[in-house]
């Protein structure tokens, strides 16, 4: 038991609370902070040895805390079909409130590229510490190693929660156990099962913000190379579906980067309907004619050098090894003055459409977030209360909501957690 003062010691022997929060991640900690600030007696039940394990590694350890779009309706356009359900909650606690919450507790925030917001220290642990200090100040009891065994209910109300650390009764209960992304942090989808047991309709989770797996050895051969300005176009059974332009990171399993992560949900839908391929335009601001002129110019300046040695002058930096694998029918030791027009055209066309065979999406272990969860029609999204149980509130990744990377997942946690904490 943490040493959080005399009140906490007394609460340790009295397992009756105003608010029982199940799950000590981002939304659970925020819910507990808000409820306890209103004078409620609050406990957090966390199955891990410590709170906030996923939060501590979010954003690669930097913590993309929100996105700096202050207009609520514009912000909610990023949540697809869920946007209309979320308007009331985000009107109660939105981006401005997130800034106020953290900055008033001496954690300044900074806006970076694509309006992503980070703590000025770029430390996810500092975000966690800010929440932890608020919980301590408000004398919230923290029970770790508290694996939930059963949620007891009667006559449309939750009565108590049985855990490996004892049974806890309460007036209100907030379910904030998170989804299934990063299971190594304890986020294993336990809450989905409990919600089903309570009669809720729960969509099975699938990774949505996740890298893409490919079959191509040329991609894997340049793992670690990151190209800033690429255009990737996705095809279903050979027919063009959609294109996006931005940064692409090549990995030992396929493709990553915010551009790829935010394409994954659409790619996942395509994969259910047929074969999915893609092409990468390495020079999206240069048309085929201009690209050919560029290659001809380079060849004219290096007539007596081999194609192998000149290739680096015409392909994106760091990609030579991969491009060579795609030119196996051309002798790379040929002097460029002997390269035929058709061979040159092949190189030009290749740079405008590098082929990629997509085999699937990576799993939950590599996902930034996953969808799935209770359907929103079964939750009163004005207060995050279950329509089936008058004292049960559901937050964060337990709600079936798609969203892109860029701060939108954590803002969903802050918003739903704060609204649940205020109403519990």
pLDDT tens, residue by residue, 359-369: 988 865 555 65
**Per-residue confidence (pLDDT) for residue 86, from 0 to 100:** 97
For residues 267 and 272, give the distance between their C-alpha atoms in angstroms, rounded to a whole number. 9
Q: Is residue 1 part of a domain?
A: no
Closest CA to 388 of 167, 190, 84, 173: 173
pLDDT of residue 182: 45
Looking at residue 196, what is its pLDDT?
A: 93
Sorting pLDDT into bands at 50, 70 and 90, what band is 85? Answer: very high
Q: Are residues 202 and 215 in the same domain?
A: no
Does any domain span residue 189?
Answer: yes
**Do 357 and 299 sit in the same domain of this protein?**
yes
Q: Are strands 276-281 and 254-256 parallel, antiparallel or unpaired?
A: unpaired
Which carries the bigger pLDDT value, residue 321 or residue 9?
Answer: 321
Do 312 and 396 lie in a common domain? no
Average pLDDT, the chain: 90
What value does the mean pLDDT take over residues 173-200?
Answer: 76
**Strand ranges in 69-147 using DSSP code E only, listed in sequence order:** 109-111, 116-119, 141-143
Least confident of 101-110, 201-210, 339-348: 201-210
Please say if the pLDDT value at position 10 is more than 70. no
For residues 388 and 242, membership in a common domain is answered with no
What are residue 13's phi and psi, to 5 degrees?
Answer: -95, 0
User: Does 335 or 9 have the greater pLDDT score?
Assistant: 335
Give CA separation, 111 vs 73, 114, 325, 337, 369, in Å.
20, 9, 41, 51, 22
The model's confidence at residue 404, banded by pLDDT at 50, 70 and 90, is confident
Q: Are residues 163 and 215 in the same domain?
A: no
Q: Does residue 13 surpass a pLDDT of 80?
A: no
Identify the pLDDT of residue 367.
54
346 or 204: whose pLDDT is higher? 346
Residue 183 has pLDDT above 60, yes or no: no
Provide the pLDDT for residue 268.
85
Rounded average pLDDT over 76-84 = 91
pLDDT at 365: 57
What value does the mean pLDDT take over residues 331-335? 95
Same domain, 353 and 237: yes
Is this structure's pTM higher than 0.75?
no
Instruction: Tell me which of 421 and 57 has the higher pLDDT.
Output: 421
Question: Does 416 have pLDDT greater than 70?
Answer: yes
- 140-176, pLDDT tens digit by residue? 999 999 999 999 999 999 999 999 999 999 999 999 9
291 pLDDT above the threshold of 50: yes
Same structural domain for residues 134 and 230? no
pLDDT at 205 over 50: yes
Q: How much of the chain exceeds pLDDT 90, in percent? A: 78
Cα separation, 306 vs 299, in Å, equals 10
Of 311, 346, 362, which residue is a domain's last? 362
Distance in angstroms (rounded) separating the CA atoms of residues 408 and 81: 15
- Position 59 scores a pLDDT of 81
Distance separating the N- and C-terminal Cα atoms of the chain: 24
Longest dimension (CA), the chain: 87
How far apart CA 106 and CA 108 sit, in angstroms, is: 6
Q: Are residues 39 and 188 in the same domain?
A: yes
Q: Looking at the structure, do residues 284 and 197 belong to the same domain, yes or no?
A: no
Whether 252 has a pLDDT exceeding 50, the answer reads yes
Check which CATH number belongs to the domain holding 51 and give it. 3.50.50.60
| Low-confidence winner among 31-45, 305-319, 362-376 (lowest mean pLDDT) | 362-376
Does residue 137 surpass a pLDDT of 60?
yes
The confidence score (pLDDT) of residue 11 equals: 47
Domains held by the chain: number: 2
Q: Looking at the structure, do residues 188 and 295 belong to the same domain, yes or no? A: no
Examine the domain organization and report whether 262 and 138 are in the same domain: no
User: Rounded distance, CA 399 to CA 417, Å?
Assistant: 12
3-state DSSP percent of the chain in helix, strand and coil, to 5: 40, 25, 35
Together in a domain, 333 and 389: no
Among 362, 379, 394, where does a domain finish?
362
Q: How confident is the model at residue 266 (pLDDT cuts 50, 70, 90)?
A: confident
Structural domain that includes position 295: 211-362
Distance CA 380, CA 174 (A): 14
Domain closes at, from 346, 362, 378? 362
């Amino acid at each position: 038991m943490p040493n959080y003062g005399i009140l906490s010691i007394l609460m340790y022997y009295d397992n009756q609370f105003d608010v029982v929060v199940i799950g000590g991640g981002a939304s659970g900690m925020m819910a507990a902070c808000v409820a306890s600030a209103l004078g409620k007696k609050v406990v957090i039940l966390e199955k891990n040895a410590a709170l906030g394990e996923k939060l501590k590694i979010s954003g690669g350890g930097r913590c993309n805390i929100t996105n700096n779009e202050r207009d609520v309706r514009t912000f909610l356009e990023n949540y697809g079909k869920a946007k209309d359900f979320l308007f009331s909650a985000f009107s109660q606690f939105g981006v401005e409130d997130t800034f106020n919450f953290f900055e008033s507790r001496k954690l300044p925030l900074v806006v970076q590229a694509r309006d992503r917001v980070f703590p000025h220290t770029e430390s996810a642990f500092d975000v966690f510490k800010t929440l932890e200090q608020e919980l301590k100040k408000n004398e919230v009891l923290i029970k770790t190693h508290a694996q939930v065994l059963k949620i007891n209910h009667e006559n449309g109300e939750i009565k108590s929660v049985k855990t490996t650390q004892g049974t806890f009764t309460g007036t209100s209960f907030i379910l904030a156990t998170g989804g299934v992304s990063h299971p190594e942090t304890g986020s294993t989808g336990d809450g989905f099962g409990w919600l089903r047991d309570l009669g809720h309709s729960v969509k099975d989770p699938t990774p949505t913000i996740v890298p893409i797996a490919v079959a191509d050895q040329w991609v894997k051969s340049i793992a670690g190379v990151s190209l800033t300005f690429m255009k990737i176009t996705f095809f279903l059974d050979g027919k063009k579906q959609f294109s996006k332009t931005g940064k692409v990171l090549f990995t030992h399993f396929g493709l990553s980067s915010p551009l790829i992560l935010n394409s994954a949900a659409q790619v996942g839908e395509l994969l259910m309907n047929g074969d999915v391929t893609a092409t990468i335009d390495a020079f999206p601001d240069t048309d085929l004619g201009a690209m050919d002129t560029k290659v001809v110019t380079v060849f004219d300046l290096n007539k007596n050098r081999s194609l192998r040695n000149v290739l680096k002058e015409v392909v994106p930096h760091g990609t030579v090894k991969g491009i060579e694998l795609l030119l196996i029918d051309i002798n790379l030791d040929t002097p460029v003055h002997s390269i035929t027009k058709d061979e040159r055209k092949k190189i030009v066309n290749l740079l405008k459409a590098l082929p990629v065979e997509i085999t699937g999406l990576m799993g939950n272990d590599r996902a930034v977030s996953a969808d799935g969860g209770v359907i929103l029609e079964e939750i009163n999204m004005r207060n995050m209360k279950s329509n089936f149980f008058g004292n049960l509130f559901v937050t964060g990744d337990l709600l079936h909501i798609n969203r892109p990377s860029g701060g939108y997942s954590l803002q969903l946690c802050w918003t739903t957690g704060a609204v649940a904490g205020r109403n519990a």
